[in-house]
Amino acid sequence: MSYPRVHRMSKEIPLPCTPLPYTGLRVLDISQGIAGPYCAHILWQQGAEVIKVEPPAGDWIRFVGVKQDEHSALAIQFNAGKKALALDARVQAGKKILFELALQADVIVQNFRPGAAQRMGIGYEALCALKPDLVYVSISGYGPDGPYADAPATDSVMQADSGLMFTNQDAQGTPRRLGMLAADVITGLYASQGAATALYQRLAHKSGTHVQVSLFEACAAFQGSCFIEQAIAGERPFSAVSAPNAVFATADGNISILVLNDEQFGRLCAALQRPEWLNDPRFATNQLRMQNREALYADMIKQVAQYPTAYWDALLKEHDVLHAPVRDYHSVLSHPQSLHLEMVQQLEQAGVGRLPYIGLPTHPHHRPVKSAPRIGEDSIAILKQAGVTAAQIEQLITDGVVLQAKV
């Protein structure tokens, strides 16, 4: 069965009075998981039209972690606003549709293992030969070649292998995993920056770019200063660089209190009504406070535990002491500054309900959030817009090459 060449898709209508920078940009997101989808989602937030292509069974991230039906929290956060095409790209008919869609995209984001895209016929070289100004983003675990190129690279694997667990070790020296999918999110951010740079290159010099980002390099770059610290000190320092600088238990929670210099220590002494500390030779300088922090902390632990967090927050604020209550997520959402900045959008997620959504922290170039799509929610619309006839679409669905979600 033959299919017509896919026509260019109609441009997305700009939001009124909102000149988003990527309005009209077409992004084909054929990645799964977090890093690739997040890269594409950032472009969507800045105005791009993003088509997410996933297998009929769905992107595996839909079924990981906290979920409801075919929507996980991770899938919602990193795919909100996209249009979804469910396509079996393992068969020839699916490969042809994917290839034609790729030729009509301005940006392609993929995170297959090295060599997989080439075997599918949608590698950068094949597409660039026909579309020289293409921006093609490849995300991998360890890069396109080398001894680890084919090694699996989940977030936990990468946190261990890139030093993130090492730098997050506890006071006893036990390495700890960061409590979120940091490696994937970091890589998605770097990938979106690489895509933005390539788009500028395309605008300025009329040439495309193959942007390559690996989780391994992204995590190492994120920790760049840690490697320098170890090189200078001979070992990586893990304790705080000043004292006091710790989390203290209050009567009803926890509060972080820190001092970076002698002037700030004076303000802390005034707040805690401890003038004797100013004349104590053990606490005369930051270096001495670091050496004697156990004695200093013992006194602070007893005093801070006597009153609730709100009391200490107000008192330390009055004396301009660096501090912050240790907040849970509910408290962050109701934070006075969060409310002032309108940081949290209300996402009406179809099939789930109202959810808090926090998008790009950059202003003003990002758009209001939209619901994340179901598997194949827009399959028919995407193919029609691409020039595939109704009869051909019906046959693709009958053959199991395309899945259209039920209305």
**What is the per-residue pLDDT across 191-238, written as a single tens digit (0 to 9) for each?**
999 999 999 999 999 999 999 999 999 999 999 999 998 999 888 766
Q: Whole-structure pTM over 0.85, yes or no?
A: yes
In a domain, 3, yes or no: no
In a domain, 6, yes or no: no
Domain boundary among 311, 332, 353: 332
What residues does 254 pair with on adjacent strands?
Answer: 249
Q: Report the CATH number that the domain containing residue 74 is assigned in CATH.
A: 3.40.50.10540
Three-class secondary structure of residue 359 per DSSP: coil
Domain boundary among 301, 332, 363: 332
Radius of gyration of the chain (CA): 26
Q: Looking at residue 187, what is its pLDDT?
A: 98
Number of domains in the chain: 2
Query: In this structure, are 348 and 328 located in the same domain?
Result: no
Query: In this structure, are 213 and 146 located in the same domain?
Result: yes
Confidence of residue 332 (pLDDT cuts 50, 70, 90): very high
Contact (Cβ atoms closer than 8 angstroms) between residue 402 and residue 71: no
Give the contacts of 252 (CB within 8 A, at least 6 positions apart). 308, 309
For residue 10, the one-letter residue type is S
Tell me the CA distances in angstroms from 322 to 146, 279, 353, one per residue in order. Answer: 46, 22, 39
Q: Looking at residue 1, what is its pLDDT?
A: 41
In a domain, 302, yes or no: yes
| Average pLDDT value for residue range 67-91 | 97
In a domain, 358, yes or no: yes
Confidence of residue 2 (pLDDT cuts 50, 70, 90): very low
Q: Cβ atoms within 10 A of the Cβ of 91, count?
A: 14
Q: Is pLDDT above 60 for 316?
A: yes
In a domain, 7, yes or no: no
Query: In this structure, are 138 and 250 located in the same domain?
Result: no
Confidence of residue 13 (pLDDT cuts 50, 70, 90): very low
Q: Which structural domain range is residue 99 located in?
A: 26-224+344-403
Query: In this structure, are 95 and 216 located in the same domain?
Result: yes
**What is the per-residue pLDDT across 231-247, written as a single tens digit (0 to 9) for each?**
998 887 667 889 999 99
Query: In this structure, are 128 and 45 located in the same domain?
Result: yes
Q: Characterize the bridge pairing of strands 71-72 and 67-68.
A: antiparallel
Query: In this structure, are 171 and 33 located in the same domain?
Result: yes
Instruction: Please tell me what DSSP assigns to residue 3.
Output: -
Q: Report the CATH number that the domain containing residue 264 is assigned in CATH.
A: 3.30.1540.10
Query: In this structure, are 162 and 203 located in the same domain?
Result: yes
Longest distance between any two alpha carbons in the chain, whole Å:
88
Query: In this structure, are 302 and 164 located in the same domain?
Result: no
| Average pLDDT value for residue range 269-296 | 96
Give the contacts of 6 (CB within 8 A, at least 6 positions apart). 97, 100, 101, 103, 104, 386, 387, 388
Contact (Cβ atoms closer than 8 angstroms) between residue 43 and residue 3: no
Does residue 244 have a cis bond before it (omega within 30 degrees)? yes
d(CA 382, CA 378): 6
In a domain, 10, yes or no: no
In a domain, 319, yes or no: yes
Query: In this structure, are 147 and 39 located in the same domain?
Result: yes
Backbone dihedral angles phi then psi of residue 110, each to the nearest 5 degrees: -140, 150
Tell me the CA distances in angstroms from 92 to 1, 62, 115, 285, 387, one per residue in order. Answer: 10, 26, 18, 72, 18
Contacts by 201-204, CB closer than 8 A, 24 or more apart: 202/133, 202/135
Query: In this structure, are 351 and 318 located in the same domain?
Result: no
Query: In this structure, are 352 and 318 located in the same domain?
Result: no
Beta strands in 320-377 (DSSP E): 323-325, 345-349, 353-357
For residue 374, what are its two tokens?
Answer: 């179901």
Query: In this structure, are 129 and 249 located in the same domain?
Result: no
Percent of the chain whose pLDDT exceeds 70: 95
Confidence of residue 18 (pLDDT cuts 50, 70, 90): low
DSSP 65-118: SSEETTEEHHHHHHHTT-EEEEE-TTSHHHHHHHHHHHHT-SEEEE-PPTTHHH
Contact (Cβ atoms closer than 8 angstroms) between residue 31 and residue 55: no
Q: Looking at residue 17, what is its pLDDT?
A: 57
Percent of the chain whose pLDDT exceeds 90: 89
